A and B are shown apart, each in its own frame.
Chain A
């Protein structure tokens, strides 16, 4: 069975601080895919990144960066110089690929205080 754990339920930071959202996953598959989604107050989930299990390169996109470590089964997400617009619920997710089911974590609510 697949499982995604986001231990941080809620995080509050002051604007311009850096913040890291943790994601730990469990799977017996050798090939799998990891995702991060952002859910702003409007409710729609916005795709942020997909990572394949065979690609452990970290990725940076503007103020966002992702650290994938297979050795610790973690896929952490860091926002640098946080902004109020970053306030949202962030979900980490795991899939086997193809049409297989996506398993979502319970989400981390990030509040950026101006």
Chain B
């Protein structure tokens, strides 16, 4: 079955440590996205990537880094520079139509990161 996988589901890290969240998709989508979700704040865009080896900052990129070496994979690293990293992280992908219209984003199950 096609879809997006994120691992792990729950992640704990000590303050000051970097941690990498995995996101893999087998939908053959070109674009991938990382969002952060905090209670009462909806989803905020961290980074997005339209094609391999290219990515752009979203609204809250500070303290995060990404890579896009393969079309299927878009890992997110939460660095020690992120002031308040405890949150729910969602990965998504989309394949815009060739006409330029916008296809919906498909989401993974999310990773809940807790900093101890």
**Would B101 and A45 count as touching, CB distance under 8 A?**
no
Give the total number of A-B pairs whose CB atoms are below 8 A apart: 61
Closest residue on chain B to residue A48 by CB atoms: B104
Q: Does B21 make an interface contact (CB < 8 A)?
A: no
**Would A107 and B104 count as touching, CB distance under 8 A?**
no
**Would B104 and A47 count as touching, CB distance under 8 A?**
yes
Give the shortest distance, in Å, between B94 (CB) and chain A (any CB). Answer: 8
What is the interface size of chain A, counting residues whose CB is below 8 A from a CB of the partner?
25
Residues of A within 8 A of B43 (CB): 45, 91, 104
> CA of A43 to CA of B6 in the docked complex: distance in angstroms?
12
Closest residue on chain B to residue A6 by CB atoms: B42
> CA of A53 to CA of B59 in the docked complex: distance in angstroms?
24
**Would B42 and A102 count as touching, CB distance under 8 A?**
no
Within 8 A of B (CB), among A17-70: 33, 35, 37, 42-47, 50, 52
Q: B residues near A, CB below 8 A? A: 31, 33, 40-45, 48, 50, 58-59, 88, 90, 92, 96, 100-110, 112
Q: A residues near B, CB below 8 A? A: 9, 33, 35, 37, 42-47, 50, 52, 91, 95-102, 104-107
Query: What are 8 inter-chain pairs, A to B, with CB distance below 8 A?
Result: A45-B107, A97-B100, A97-B101, A98-B100, A98-B102, A99-B48, A101-B48, A107-B42
Ranked 7 nearest A-B pairs via Cβ? A45-B107, A97-B102, A106-B42, A104-B43, A104-B42, A43-B110, A47-B104
